[in-house]
Amino acid sequence: NAGVTQTPKFRVLKTGQSMTLLCAQDMNHEYMYWYRQDPGMGLRLIHYSVGEGTTAKGEVPDGYNVSRLKKQNFLLGLESAAPSQTSVYFCASSRTGELFFGEGSRLTVL
């Protein structure tokens, strides 16, 4: 039982490049979330999903897109990366309340 797995764990991008972060959970959870963590700002919700095929905006959605084509996967896309998107990204899933987090993906945009 791996829980929540994020790939890749580290990535360096140049401004304007695109990339996708993949989150996979094996707990059959309905709800999945993407957060970003920045120093002194805690965890801020980017997008979330309440079920397969559904997504919704969180606190800081601009510059990101998401897709939930399969229940176990939640993808976070950056179409044109900007230095302000340098951060650690955490995916989480839940069934009723408790969030189960992945170990994070550190993204640097130069």
Partner 1 sequence: GENVEQHPSTLSVQEGDSAVIKCTYSDSASNYFPWYKQELGKGPQLIIDIRSNVGEKKDQRIAVTLNKTAKHFSLHITETQPEDSAVYFCAASTRLGYSSASKIIFGSGTRLSIRP
Min CB(72)–partner 1 separation in Å: 16
Q: Report if residue 71 touches partner 1, rule: CB under 8 A.
A: no
Q: Is the Cβ–Cβ distance between 73 and 52 less than 8 Å?
A: no
Distant-in-sequence, close-in-space partners of 39: CB < 8 Å, separation ≥ 6: none
Range 16-55, binding partner 1 (CB under 8 A): 30-31, 33, 35, 40-45, 48, 50-51
Residues in touch with partner 1 (CB under 8 A) = 4, 30-31, 33, 35, 40-45, 48, 50-51, 56, 58-59, 90, 92, 94, 96-99, 101-104
